Structure 1
Amino acid sequence: MQVLQVQLEVGPDPAEVGRARRWARSRLAGSGIRDDEPLAETLILLISELVTNAVVHTGCPAVLRVLFGSTGTAGTAGTVRVEVADASCRPPQQRHAEGEDTGGRGLELVDGLADRWGWQPEGAGKRIWCEVDRDAPLIQAVPGVHGAGDADLGARKTSHAVTNPA
């Protein structure tokens, strides 16, 4: 399978999250994912959450990678993989936000939107990744996410595989 990989270095500043979103939108368009597609919005939200987690919770620079899988043999559109690597060895911790909480929904959203996600040690730090199958059907709500509003977030059927270091 042929894979196109693009990469962006992200500084340890919350303002970098907006820059990462703008960069990702242009790369998605370049890969044939139109800006008005629900898939584009889902990927931008996933990228935003993973980059925000890296910047806010580690205070370290990070590297955002987006990998576009080629079209499958049965005519499927392939998989888009988002990876964020940072220099912190602290594992990600999925939390459950309550009512008016202003944080704690990031990995819950990733779990609800991605087809698969996980993390693994990388050098002195870690890499958090998620994958979205381009031909997966969209569903109407994010299971288990409360307080996300009534908007259709373009969520997908999920299964996640978190890789913990042994």
Structure 2
Amino acid sequence: MADHQEASVTLPSEPASVAVARRFVAEVLGAWGLPDAADAADSVRLMVSELATNAVQHTFGQSPTFRVDVRLEREERLRVGVTDSHPRWPKRLPAAVQQDNGRGMVIIRCLTAEAGGRLSVTPTEDGGKTVWIALPWPAGAPAGTGTGR
């Protein structure tokens, strides 16, 4: 078993890509041994949906694509990142704005904390950012030998 497995996909910044990103991550997690019906898989799919939606909606056309990276480190830690080239980092919106939208980062923060994980944002060389979630790999989930993409 490799100490490190990874897969990534680059998608156009358009609404249809959100579902593609979610399916991509679900397939990778399944190949690595995390059952599709597991609560952890559900949470990761939801977080990826929220991050991909942010990459599509909040980059204002300045990021024609976004990338989803999935990494499994030593069968201990799962890292999922969504990268876009827009310079603005995610931030909480005022409660009044959150009535119709703007709850994505709150959802991601809650799910990450609930799973014992961590949320971080790192700058990219081109002036954009990657929003990372790092989660413990669920106990008892075997890490398969799925191929990286």
Normalised by the length of structure 2, the TM-score is: 0.80
Q: 1:105 aligns with which of 103, 106, 121?
A: 103
User: What's the offset of the Cα at 1:91?
Assistant: 1.3
Structure with greater contact order relative to length (CA < 8 Å, sep ≥ 6): 2
Partner Cα separation in structure 1 for residue 30 and residue 38 of structure 2: 10
Task: Write out per-residue CA displacement over residues 50-92 of structure 1, whole angstroms, 9 at most, x where no aligned residue.
Answer: 1111111013211100111223xxxxxx111111111111111
Are residues 1:54 and 2:55 paired?
A: yes
Q: Look up the match of 2:72.
A: 68
Instruction: Indicate how the Cα distance of structure 1 residues 98 and 19 shifts in structure 2: closer, same or farther if over 3 A, else same.
Output: same
The answer to which structure has the higher helix fraction is 2
Partner Cα separation in structure 2 for residue 111 and residue 95 of structure 1: 14
> Which amino acid is 1:41 matched to?
D
Q: Helix, strand or coil for the counterpart of 1:7?
A: strand
Task: Write out per-residue CA displacement over residues 19-46 of structure 1, whole angstroms, 9 at most, x where no aligned residue.
Answer: 1111111111001000010010011011
User: What's the offset of the Cα at 1:97?
Assistant: 4.6
Aligned partners of 1:97 and 1:105 also within 8 Å: no
Aligned partners of 1:96 and 1:108 also within 8 Å: no
User: What's the offset of the Cα at 1:100?
Assistant: 8.0
Partner Cα separation in structure 1 for residue 54 and residue 97 of structure 2: 20
Q: Structure 2: any 5+ residue segments left out of the alignment?
A: 140-149
Aligned alpha-carbon RMSD (Å): 1.9
User: What's the offset of the Cα at 1:135?
Assistant: 3.8
Which runs of at least 4 in structure 1 moved beyond 6 Å after TM superposition? none
Q: Look up the match of 2:42.
A: 41
Normalised by the length of structure 1, the TM-score is: 0.72
Q: Look up the match of 1:130.
A: 133
Paired residue total: 130
Partner Cα separation in structure 2 for residue 12 and residue 35 of structure 1: 26
Aligned partners of 1:95 and 1:108 also within 8 Å: no
User: What's the offset of the Cα at 1:94?
Assistant: 2.0
Q: Structure 1: any 5+ residue segments left out of the alignment?
A: 72-77, 137-166
What percent of counterpart residues are identical? 30
